[in-house]
Chains A and B, each alone.
Chain A
Amino acid sequence: MDLINGIMNVLSPMNLLFSFIGCVLGTLVGVLPGLGTASTLSILLPITMYMDPTRSIIMLAGIYYGAAYGGSTTSILVNIPGETSSVCTCFDGFPMTKQGRAGQALWIAAVGSFIAGTFGVIMLSIIGPGIAKYALKFGPPEYFGLIFFSLTTLISLSGTSLIKGMVAGLMGLLAATVGVDNMTGITRFVFGSIAMMRGFEIIPIVIGLFGISEILTSTEEGIRKIYEGKLGKMMPRGTELKKGLLASIRGTLLGFPLGVLPGMVPALTSFLSYDLEKKISKTPEKFGTGLIEGVAAPESANNATAQAAYIPLLSLGIPTGPAMAVLLAAFIMYGLQPGPLLFQENADLAWTIIGSMYIGNVFLLILNLPLVGFWARISLIPYKFLGPAIICICVIGAYSPRNTLFDVWVAIGAGIVGYLMRKKKWPLPPLILGFILGPKLELSLRQSMSMGGISILFSRYISLVLILLAIFAAIVSLKFKRGLSSAIRPEDSDDY
């Protein structure tokens, strides 16, 4: 019933319009190389401050899963992935285009994404409220365990160097302590500056780390050309159709459970899914020559992961990656706290967002199939025009939350840090998640210590299990990363 009410809310004209705008912007973000999801969300977030909270969250959510759809178009047509999660799609998608089967590749990518997206939303409707209900039993020790697990898993999975991930995460935690301590009112790291007493605002940091740094990085890339070939027949037939759909289902079933884990970004699951298809195929040597499974599986996996990320965000208030972290910032900006209480106190909003995902998946199917030529031409826009225009929006975005130029300088500083980190292959997600989750981690630790000392973290079974899982996940991920093929380098991912 709640879900039906949510869908009915979305069907109001204005909510439908904003869902559509989000899907269009998301597809555009996916199509344009050099413009990542987290960057776009961070740039648009302050602008949405002036809009109705429900509509702006619907729009931002649409951008996030829309980007997962849009990245495949340029991957298939011009061999340039719009998002890192679409890199795998190039391997077989572009060869299919060269064989005159671009239409079939685009069709299976869109339909596979739709299957994965719909499955993800259904599972979110079923699992999300259940997890939220269970999480109501969480106290400070459990939250400490959960955040510790999230950060550890994220650090373990981002990049091939554990040291770099750890440093980035710890730097984020440290940056979060700047300003006034919430419990005692004492200032930390202000060095006599009144501006620093307010601490760092999340939006300028995200805009700098993802928006400005991405533009500085992208100015070093060249201009792209478009492929002028024909699309051919759209829908595959017979065995091809069966293989494509089965690969989509496998990709979905792989991408969805992994997407719930912190650090498991769509880029990674798309590679895992492609790897899996190769392993189970009777003709693995043909991968890379234009197999439909090579397009269907990674596209489905990346969409399923994108949808699954909403489960920990909405039900526990834990973002699994930077784009989710920006969405979390959006919720906080509107005075909402995602987590177990969201489904209790703002059930209407939560179900409206979930309902908008159903509708959004339909919009995206419509946008991605008939308008594919249009999206391919969008990639013609040279970055020399886009880059400065986006910087100006970044400045507005950094200034808007507190109307102070200090935040703009913070954004520029974060931009330089982000640029240097990208150049030197340091992972960004641990830094931003450490910054966002740091205050919660510190608060839950200090509350737990006040309740019963350090032993309470190990005497409460949920907290103990989460801490042990964190250690186990770190050990397993170290072994897992050694086994990754050299084509997969998570620290290269610009897509968060």
Chain B
Amino acid sequence: MAQLEGVLILVVSLIGLAEGVRLTVFKEPYILYDVIGPGYYIVIISGLLFIPGIIRLLDFGKTNEHTEPGENKGMKMRVVLLFGALVLYIFLMTIFGYFPATLFFLLISFRILGVKSLITNLVGSTAVAGAYYVIFIKYCHMVLPRGMFY
């Protein structure tokens, strides 16, 4: 795991270095630059990131990994499903608008998290979505994403 973290850190560091070098070497002709310019700072930060990336990759020193005894796969699956529902929620928001999408998301996520009774689920979702409509639209006059139905 430390090696994977090291690889990710190195990738970010290299992207940063590439961007920093680009900004340093290829200067715009009609722009007045300060002493450092927009590139050197990024090169310094990315360069500093490179060192811990190498350390994590080679796993120098004592690794402080905490192994969780018997991780609960059921609970992990809930997290994955909840995240999936969240991504779907944002997609649906662009099509149907905030409130229909919110109602759908609440129905799905209550079910994922263990609310088995359909009536409780429906009542709870409607109550929460309704409360948000009153608070955020009617009282706060907020602008929320609109879609086909809202």
A residues neighboring B (CB under 8 Å): 47, 50, 160-161, 163, 166-167, 170-171, 173-174, 177, 181, 183-186, 188-189, 212, 215-216, 219-220, 383-385, 387-389, 391-393, 395-396, 399-400, 403, 405, 408-409, 412, 416, 419, 424-425, 442, 445-447, 449-450, 453
User: Which residues of A have CB within 8 Å of B34?
Assistant: 183-184, 446-447, 449-450
Whether the pair A388, B105 counts as a contact (CB closer than 8 A) is yes
Among B32, B66, B144, point to the contact of A184 (Cβ < 8 A).
Answer: B32
Q: How far is the CB of B31 from chain A (nearest CB, A)?
A: 5
User: Which residues of A have CB within 8 Å of B102?
Assistant: 392, 395
Q: How far is the CB of A493 from chain B (nearest CB, A)?
A: 14
Distance, CA A47 to CA B136, complexed state (A): 8
Cβ of B83 < 8 Å from any Cβ of A?
yes
User: Which residues of A have CB within 8 Å of B94?
Assistant: 405
Whether the pair B75, A177 counts as a contact (CB closer than 8 A) is no
Whether the pair B38, A170 counts as a contact (CB closer than 8 A) is no
Among B1, B46, B110, B132, point to the contact of A385 (Cβ < 8 A).
Answer: B110
Scan residues 101-120 of chain B and give those whose CB is less than 8 A from a CB of chain A: 102, 105-106, 109-110, 113-115
Among B9, B32, B142, point to the contact of A396 (Cβ < 8 A).
Answer: B142
Whether the pair A396, B79 counts as a contact (CB closer than 8 A) is no
Scan residues 73-119 of chain B and give those whose CB is less than 8 A from a CB of chain A: 75-76, 78-79, 82-83, 86-87, 89-90, 93-94, 98, 102, 105-106, 109-110, 113-115
User: Which residue of chain B lies nearest to A392 when distances are taken between CB atoms in the complex?
Assistant: B102
Whether the pair B35, A449 counts as a contact (CB closer than 8 A) is yes
Whether the pair B35, A453 counts as a contact (CB closer than 8 A) is yes
User: Which residues of B have CB within 8 Å of A393?
Assistant: 132
Whether the pair B28, A186 counts as a contact (CB closer than 8 A) is yes
User: Which residues of A have CB within 8 Å of B110?
Assistant: 384-385, 388
Whether the pair A167, B64 counts as a contact (CB closer than 8 A) is no
Known: A47-B142, A188-B42, A445-B41. 18 other contacts (CB 8 A): A50-B140, A50-B142, A161-B64, A166-B48, A174-B46, A177-B42, A186-B28, A188-B23, A219-B79, A219-B82, A219-B113, A220-B72, A388-B82, A392-B129, A392-B132, A395-B98, A399-B144, A399-B145
B residues neighboring A (CB under 8 Å): 1, 5, 9, 12, 16, 19, 23, 28, 31-38, 41-42, 45-46, 48-49, 52-53, 55-56, 64, 66, 72, 75-76, 78-79, 82-83, 86-87, 89-90, 93-94, 98, 102, 105-106, 109-110, 113-115, 124, 128-129, 132, 136, 140-145
Assuming the contacts A219-B75, A424-B1, A442-B41, asked whether A412 and B56 have C-beta atoms less than 8 A apart, the reply is: no
Top 8 nearest A-B pairs (CB, nearest first) are: A384-B113, A388-B109, A181-B38, A220-B75, A449-B35, A163-B52, A50-B140, A170-B49
Assuming the contacts A384-B113, A385-B124, A392-B105, asked whether A174 and B16 have C-beta atoms less than 8 A apart, the reply is: yes
Distance, CA A355 to CA B35, complexed state (A): 45
Assuming the contacts A188-B38, A384-B115, asked whether A173 and B45 have C-beta atoms less than 8 A apart, the reply is: yes
User: Which residues of A have CB within 8 Å of B128?
Assistant: 388-389, 392
User: Which residues of B have CB within 8 Å of A399?
Assistant: 144-145
Q: How far is the CB of A33 from chain B (nearest CB, A)?
A: 16
User: Which residue of chain A lies nearest to B33 when distances are taken between CB atoms in the complex?
Assistant: A184
User: Which residues of A have CB within 8 Å of B132?
Assistant: 392-393, 396
Distance, CA A383 to CA B110, complexed state (A): 10
Distance, CA A389 to CA B113, complexed state (A): 12
User: Which residues of A have CB within 8 Å of B98?
Assistant: 395-396
User: Which residues of B have CB within 8 Å of A396?
Assistant: 98, 132, 136, 142, 144
User: Which residues of A have CB within 8 Å of B109?
Assistant: 387-388, 391
Whether the pair A389, B106 counts as a contact (CB closer than 8 A) is yes
Q: How far is the CB of B94 from chain A (nearest CB, A)?
A: 6
